[in-house]
Every structure is written in structure tokens, then in C-alpha cells.
Amino acid sequence: MTASSPEWIVIQGAREHNLKDVTVRFPRNQLSVVTGVSGSGKSTLLFNILVQEGERKFVSASGHAADNVQRPDYDDIYGLSPIVSVSQHHHNFSRRSTVGTYSEIYTYLRLLYTAIGERACPHCQVVFSYADIRTTPVRLSEEEHSHQKHYACPSCGQPVENITMAHFSFNSQLGACPGCTGLGEQIEPILDAIVRPDLSIQDGGIQVWKKGFLWHFAPLLLRAAKYYHLPLHEEDLQRPIGELPDIVRHMLLYGTDDPRIRELRPDAPAPSNMKQGKYEGAVNSLLRRYYEGDDDEESLLEFARFLRTVPCESCHGSRLNATSSYVLVNGTPIHHLMSMSLTQLLNWLEGLPSALPDRYVEAAQPICRELRERTRSLMNAGLNYLSLDRSFSSLSGGEAQRMRLASLLNSNLSGMICVLDEPTTGLHPQDTDKLMRSVRKLASLGNTVIVIEHDIDVIRQAEYVVDIGPGAGELGGELVFQGTVNELLYHPESMTAQSLRDSLNRHRSTTRSWNRTLTIRDAHANNLKHITVVIPLGIITAIAGVSGSGKSTLVMEELLPQLQSIGSASNASSRIGGTEHIQHLVVVDQQAMGKMSRSNAATYTKVFDDIREWFKELASRQGLRLKASDFSFNVAGGRCESCKGTGSLKVQMHFMADRLIPCPTCHGKRYREKILSVQWHGHSIADVLGMSIEQARELFRDIPKIAAKLDCLCEIGLGYLRMGQPSSTFSGGEAQRVKLAAELSNARSGHTLYILDEPSVGLHDQDTSKLLAVLNRLVDRGDSVLLIEHNTQLIANSDWVIELGPGGGQEGGTVIATGTPDLLKSSNDSIIGAYL
């Protein structure tokens, strides 16, 4: 094989990040898997080199300058084709984007309802459809003329409005609900969070007012009260808000434009400015600033703490106005189809042709065929439990990725390089096989499919495997192996080979006993079927089940809200028993870390606070009068103001995502020269941010306060992350483990319940073993661990398993099996048992 052989795609001499002059090849038109421990260099090889260089060359070939796209560090790439990459990172989809709109299934449903939807004539009440209407428009009088086209009712001949696809679109004025403008939900204030009735205005009883702002609001309140003759005087600002008259509290929240306040002086003109007594109200001000979005990111996130979304009162969440509900296909309005699971929708579509009148079949058949194909494509990607009205932004990274994969399959493209980033994330083993059939189909269409994956079953199905390692960070970046799976099995140095060999014997030999429990009674949120669940404490318990079976609903919507009120007798629920056994609650989910997009592992765990204090001490030894804040890249002082401490500038690209380039002022260092002159063992604060966590632990090994927090991060398998790596680049699993490390660094006295939502996401089997060691350590000190999990290694090593199912959506929501992993392996009722 020559380097430029048309049968191979070759990356030669890759040196980006931790890659050590690696040369890798991939067979064309086959399924290849790139594996290795977390942080070994897999994503760097594929996304930072192969994908980025493919995009850069595409821009150049299109006649556009690609000067702002930095060339990755490699020698050459042979056999490059157009590239499509499907990662797990969200791209801030609009709240208006849904599963239905993204997949275009809703577009075809709108077409179906426009073509054959039946409605009653408003004049004679006879039911008809577009297919029944004469194509000649009715002549209308000047008074009846409208910008809408009207047609004659086939029964009475009276003019009727022509219903178009726009009437079924919640993104169009013709179809959107006027109450929520097509969002299906409304924002409402949480009054209990906004007002502390036990505190006075003076002492911060209005929680949305930042400290120090009372000097601004107090005069406004007093002038407004004086204008409307309300009993509020300066001394009343020191009284608890709960003791103020009801009308005063109402004005405090809703301002002087509220009808209840205006009617106090109906004959007087409303105050036109703040000097006259105009006052906006705490709630109105909060809503205005939230919708305008002009405040900084941290303030907007703070506002969200006082607001909640509720279904729209007008459309009850359907997003559509009343017109669409009058149009029926087989007796069903379109918004009912939007709320069905994909499984239910497919059943409806398959039964539709036989239920339609003969005159509709010809128009409906091609539309229904496309609808069935697109629906099956999503179901084959393991998304059968989703509904079309599900907001795209609410999907997990794995769900969003499988949505994109299904769209890619529907495109029927060939001759492409398709790079997929852990497509089985969040999938039950039962659904993995269905997904892999779709991935293999993509390769059979004439595409080269390259998948980053840790799942042992996926690796076994690969036609070619590339193993990067052997370790993470500086200990990785080497080509350990490339070849077939059978060849990999006998490789002596590959950790992946060891996992393949050991995968049939991965359960713990013994399980712990317990004598304390939590009990959830009558759980009925979403698809849960009024179930009672007993969760043992003092051990590791796994909640298992197929995707959409109700695992997250049970834990996050039924259990968690009750546990968060521990210590408040007034909030205790009779549906939750055993809370007296829990003193502390720690929830570690996959949501974004922190309030700011500039956060990283060092800032989140607060080890960076300790490091900044240490550099302040070093500066003092050098005779420099610097504060700890001068070593922060988030505030003015010591940071570079050209890039505001990010070390990079964003460049807008034509036809591509924006790119970041090093700041020309600080050259990516983030700080001013004076700050960089302060060093510890030859390393500046900027050097520390550029290090891996493992390297930083070595640098600060003699400073216990810093070393202890870095130890927690390394023990949980995150030593490969860079100290200053933005949290926005973390996978859901990495973000979760950073949160867990932050909690581990807080010494607690036992009786803590840790709730973890799929902590194995993005983990190699070797990294999962490290996570298990940490979880076992928590239990050994008297804590309890509750996992929501699909990973068979974690489930097999749990002490107790609670399995929900048997299906997803409305087919789930019941407890189908409970017991130790060994008991489930022999249970006829368990689904997960066969995979343990």
C-alpha cells in the first residue's frame, strides 16, 4: 500500500496537542472505530486534524480565504473527501426547534393535513377537504375581499378560507398561538423566590434587587406610594414585607401601571416619569430585563432563578392556534400527533392508508411513505420514545447526535467521510444493535464511517480499529494499534484489548447488605404508572431501563424535589419515606458547569482560588503589590483587556462555524506581562492554565491545600484535562466528574446521598474502573450512591439494581425487575440482565 493509495485515508505525522508524530490510516467505505482511554488523543486526531483540515480545504477550494483557520500540526493527509462530522455538542438551537421540525417529519405532516385534512364548512357544517374543493376561486365582493384566497364550499357554495401549510406552522403568524407566539410555554415569576416576607425592603426582602441598589428603588417606591395615597412611609421600609398592607405589596411587585393600582385614582393621569411617581414593579422589571437580554450572562442566569416555564394557558403546550385543531385526518388533529411517541406515530401512519376514503389515498400515499421512512430512521437510532413536540434544546448530547445521524441517513449521500463522536452515549444495550445497523448502512452507501467509541459491543462490530494511548494526556498520544478486531484481541499493550478479553467477567463477586431505605410511593409523573419504589441506602444502587422508560423522571422529578426540602417539615411529603436517614444531598448531573461560559475544572473546584492566593504570596516575595484578583482572567486588573482574559479572539467564517485565533496582544497568554513575571518553579499563572491537571498536581505537590483538590480530579480520571480548558468543551461525562470531584474535596460526615446521572458517559472501561473505585470509597465511609445508568460495567458492579420498562414512553413506567446483578442475570423479567 502506498501512502496515497485510493483505498485508504491516511493522516501522516500528527503532532497536534498530545499526539506524538502519529501516522494513522483508515480503510475507505468501511466502518472504523477509534478507541482509547479518555484524553488519549482520539478527538484531537479526528476533530482537530481530520475534520478541521477537511473544512479548511473546503473553504480554500470554494475560493474563500482560509487564513483565519489555523492549520493543524501534521505532515500530510492523503485520500481526503468531503467530511460530515456529528459531535455531541449542542449548537444553541432555538426554542422553536423541535424533534419534528429538525427531522422534517412535521413539515410532511403539515403537507398531509393541507392535502387531505377535513374540516366543517362554517356555513352549512358539511365536512370537506381541500381535495373536494373546486379549484376556481370564488368571486368575492369588495367587502369580502381579503389577502387570503377563498374557495367555494362543495356543498353550499359559500366562500371558505383556504387552509395552507402555514396554518399548521407555529413559526408563522397564521398558525402560531397568539398567547405564547408559538413557543407552547410562558414565563411566570416564582413569587416565593422573589419575595422574602420575613425580611424588610431595607434588609433585602426583594431578592431580585442586588445589594446596594436600595438607594435607587426606595425613593421610587415612596414617590409612587405618595401619588396613589398608599400607606408606605420611610420607616415602613424597615418592616417585614409580610406585615405591609396587601395593596402596598401588590404595587411593590407589579408597579403603578397595574390596573389594581390605577383604579385607586381613576381620574388622575398616570405618572409619566419616575419623578412624578412612576414605578415599574419588581416582577415587571425582572421580566422585561430577562426578555430584553441586554444584561451580562451571569445576571441573566441569576434572573432565571426567579422564573419558571409553564404550559401556555391558551394552547396547553400545542404551540398552535385554534384553526389547526378544526382540521382532522382520520379524526385526529395535528397537535395530537405531535404529542405521540415515535412508536405511536408510526402505528398511526401504518394504519392510515386503509382508514382513508379512496379519493384521498393517491394524494396521501407518497407523503405517508416519506413520513414512515423518517420515523423509522429515528426509531432505529434508539429514539422511539421521543415525541415530535420535544424541544431540540432539551435533548441530551447523545440524543441530539442520533437525531443528526438519522438526518444524515435520510440524505442518502455517498462518497463522504462521516465522523461520529460516541453515538451510543445514553443508549441501552438493547438499542445499540439497532443504532449500529444504521451506522453500517451509512458505510454500505459508499461512505467512510469513523466512530469514536468506548462501547465494547460497538468495537467488536468494527471492520477496522485504531487504538490511541496507552494513557491519557502526556502519557497518551501514541498509536498503540491499528488493524482488525481479531488482531487487537491478542495485543499485549492495549488497554482496549484487555477490556475486550475481560468483558465477559466484569461483575463484582459480592454485594453489600443494607438496613436503611428510601421509599417513593405512587410515582406518577410523565409515564410512570403509580409505582412504589424502595431504594436501599448505604450501598450503590443502579436505576436501569431502556431509553425513555422513566428512570430520570423517577429520580429527578419524583424523588429529587422532595429530598431538596430535607430539614423543612412543612415541605415533607407522605409519598417519600426514609428521608430521616439522609443528612446531605449531592446531585451530579450532566448540565453545563457554573454560571459562566468561561469556567473550567480549576475554577469550578475552586482550586484556582487557592492557586491565585499562592501567586499573590509569590508576588509579595518579589516586592510586587498584587491582589489575588489580579491573577484572575475573569476580571479587569491583571488580565489582557484585548481578549478579556480568554487568550483568543473569535473570527466569523463564511459557510462554517466561527473560529478562535490566538490573541495578537497577549499571544494566548491571557495576562499582562507584569502578571506573567510572577512564577513558581519557572511557571507563570498562564503556564499553569496550559498544563494538564496531572502536571499541575506534580507542580504543587508540596502545597497540601492545592494538591488535595487536584488529587480528587486525578483520582476520578480527569488528570488529562488542561487546567484552563473551557467547560463548554467538556463532554457531559467530563462535566459530571468535575462536579463529583468538587464534592469529594468537601469532607462530609457520611449519610450523604449522591445522585449521579449516567456518570459513565465518555468513559473507557479502564476509566470506569477508576470511577467505581471512587464510588465504593464513598459507600465505605457511610454514604449512599444512586446511579441512573446504561453502562453494563457499572450496573454489574452495583449492589442493587432497579429496572424500569419494559419499553420507552407510554410502554414504560413500571418496575420490571429488582435485585442484585446476579439475580437479574437469571431473571426472565429483566432486559438488562442478559447484557450483564
Adjacent-strand bridge partners of 418: 84, 449
The whole-number pLDDT of residue 120 equals 87
Whole-model pTM: value is 0.80
Q: How far apart are CA 20 and CA 462, in angstroms?
A: 25
Strands 540-545 and 531-537: unpaired
* Angle, helices 495-502/765-780, rounded to nearest 10 degrees: 70
Residue 567 has pLDDT above 70, yes or no: no
Show the cell assigned to 362: 393517491
pLDDT at 295: 56
Residue 63's contacts (CB-CB under 8 Å, 6 or more residues apart) are: none
pLDDT digits (tens, 9 = 90+) for 364-403: 999 999 999 999 999 988 898 899 999 888 887 778 888 8
Q: Within a 10 A sphere around the Cβ of 747, how many other Cβ atoms?
A: 7
Query: If pLDDT is split at 50, 70 and 90, which confidence band does 110 have?
Result: very high
3-class state of residue 145 by DSSP: coil
CA dihedral 748, 750, 753, 754 (to 10 degrees): 50
Choice between 346 and 728, residue whose per-residue pLDDT is larger: 346
d(CA 66, CA 81): 18
φ and ψ of 267, to 5 deg: -90, -15
Q: How far is 335 from 747, CA to CA, in rounded Å?
A: 51
* Residue 285 CB neighbours (<10 A): 18
Distances from the Cα of 8 to the Cαs of 11, 19, 464, 519, in angstroms?
10, 21, 12, 57
Nearest CA-CA partner of 361 in 330, 323, 407, 326? 330
Give the C-alpha separation, 736 to 756, whole Å: 8
In this structure, are residues 696 and 708 in contact, taking their beta carbons and an 8 Å threshold? no
* Integer Rg of the chain from CA: 30
CA distances from 155 to 132, 137, 158, 273 (A): 10, 15, 8, 60
pLDDT band at 692 (very low <50, low <70, confident <90, very high): very high
pLDDT of residue 146: 40
Q: Which of 139-153, 378-392, 514-528 has the lowest mean pLDDT?
A: 139-153
**Would strands 448-452 and 417-421 be described as parallel, antiparallel, or unpaired?**
parallel
Q: CA torsion angle for 332, 336, 338, 343 (degrees, to 10)?
A: -80
Does 138 have pLDDT greater than 60?
no
Could you tell me the sign of the dihedral formed by the alpha carbons of 811, 812, 813, 814, in that order? positive
CB 83 within 8 A of CB 54: yes
**pLDDT at position 595 over 50:** no
Confidence at residue 288, expressed as pLDDT on a 0 to 100 scale? 85
pLDDT band at 569 (very low <50, low <70, confident <90, very high): very low
Residue 136: its pLDDT value, please? 40
223: enclosing H helix or E strand: helix 214-227
Domains in the chain, CATH or no CATH each? 8-90+395-502 (3.40.50.300), 106-182+318-380 (1.20.1580.10), 187-311 (1.10.8.280), 506-593+731-836 (3.40.50.300), 596-729 (1.20.1580.10)
pLDDT confidence bin for 62, thresholds 50/70/90: low
Mean pLDDT taken over the chain: 87
Closest CA to 795 of 756, 828, 762, 829: 756
Q: At what angle do helices 704-715 and 732-744 cross, to 10 degrees?
A: 140
Average pLDDT over residues 339-347: 95
99 burial class (0-12, 13-18, 19+ CB within 10 angstroms)?
buried
Is residue 548 pLDDT above 70, yes or no?
Answer: yes
The DSSP code sequence of 364-405 is HHHHHHHHHHHHHHHHHTT-TT-BTTSBGGGS-HHHHHHHHH
Kindly list the distances between the CA atom of residue 311 and the CA atoms of 184, 319, 502, in Å, as whole numbers in the listed order: 6, 9, 49
Is residue 135 a contact partner of residue 166, using CB atoms and an 8 Å limit? Answer: no
Task: Flag whether pLDDT at 151 surpasses 80.
Answer: no
For the cut 60, the answer to whether the pLDDT of residue 149 exceeds it is: yes
> In sequence order, which ranges of 356-504 are alpha helices (DSSP H)?
358-380, 397-411, 429-444, 456-461, 485-489, 495-502
Of 79, 75, 57, nearest to 12 (Cα)?
75
Contacts for 134 with CB less than 8 Å, ≥ 6 apart: 151, 152, 154
Where does 21-104 have alpha helices with state H? Answer: 42-43, 52-61, 99-103
Q: What is the pLDDT of residues 786-821, one digit of tens each?
A: 999 999 999 999 999 999 999 888 889 999 999 999
Q: Give ∠ CA 21-24-27 in degrees, rounded to 5.
A: 170
Of 5-14, 103-112, 227-236, 287-296, the range with the lowest mean pLDDT is 287-296
DSSP 653: -
8 A C-beta contact, residue 806 and residue 812:
yes
CA-wise closest residue to 551 among 813, 341, 343, 821: 813
For residue 9, give the H/E element and its range: strand 8-14
Give the tens place of pLDDT for each residue, 312-340.
999 999 999 998 889 999 999 999 999 99
Query: Residue 171 burial (CB < 10 Å; 0-12/13-18/19+)?
Result: middle
Q: What is the band of 442 on the pLDDT scale with cuts at 50, 70, 90?
A: very high
pLDDT at residue number 93: 60
Q: Which residues contact 500 (CB under 8 A, 6 or more apart)?
A: 456, 459, 460, 485, 488, 489
- Residue 660 to residue 52: CA distance in whole angstroms: 12
Distance CA(737)–CA(237), nearest Å, equals 46
What are the start-end ranges of the H helices in 65-164? 99-103, 105-116
CA distance 762 to 397: 11
pLDDT at 566: 57
| Contact predicate 674/639, CB 8 Å | no
Checking if the pLDDT of 505 tops 70, the result is no
pLDDT at 573: 60
Look at residue 294 and tell me whether its pLDDT is greater than 90.
no
What span, in angstroms and rounded, lies between the C-alpha atoms of 344 and 340? 6
With bands split at pLDDT 50, 70 and 90, how would you rate the model's confidence at 63?
low
Q: Which pLDDT band holds residue 64 (cuts at 50, 70, 90)? A: low
Of all residues in the chain, the percent with pLDDT exceeding 90 is: 50
Binned at pLDDT 50, 70 and 90, residue 749 comes out as low
Q: Is the pLDDT of residue 416 over 90?
A: yes
C-alpha cell at 130: 381541500
Lowest mean pLDDT among 191-195, 485-489, 571-575, 699-703: 571-575
What is the band of 301 on the pLDDT scale with cuts at 50, 70, 90?
low
Residue 616 pLDDT level (bands cut at 50, 70, 90): very high
- pLDDT at residue 529 greater than cutoff 70: yes
The Cα 292–Cα 280 span in angstroms is 15
| Cell numbers that stand for 733 in this block | 461525562
Q: What is the pLDDT of residue 218?
A: 83
Q: Give the distance, in angstroms, between the CA of residue 637 and the centroid of all CA atoms in the same chain.
A: 34
DSSP 224-264: HHHHTT-S--GGGGGSBGGGS-HHHHHHHHH-TTSHHHHTT
Separation CA 497–CA 465 (nearest Å): 11
- DSSP 8-class letter at 137: P
* Phi-psi map region of 412: left, alpha, beta (phi>0 left; psi -120 to 50 alpha): left
Residue-level pLDDT at 503: 65
Q: Which residues pair with 103 in a beta bridge?
A: none
Q: Are 262 and 270 in contact (CB under 8 A)?
A: yes
Q: What span, in angstroms and rounded, lies between the C-alpha atoms of 421 and 683?
A: 35
Predicted confidence band of residue 444 (pLDDT cuts 50, 70, 90): very high
So what's the pLDDT on residue 729? 79
Q: Could you give the CA distance from residue 66 to residue 58 in angstroms, rounded to a whole number?
A: 9
How far is the C-alpha of 18 from the C-alpha of 720, rounded, in Å? 10
Model pLDDT, residue 568 = 42
End-to-end CA distance of the chain: 41
In the 8-state DSSP scheme, what is residue 546? S
Which residue's C-alpha cell is 405511536? Answer: 344
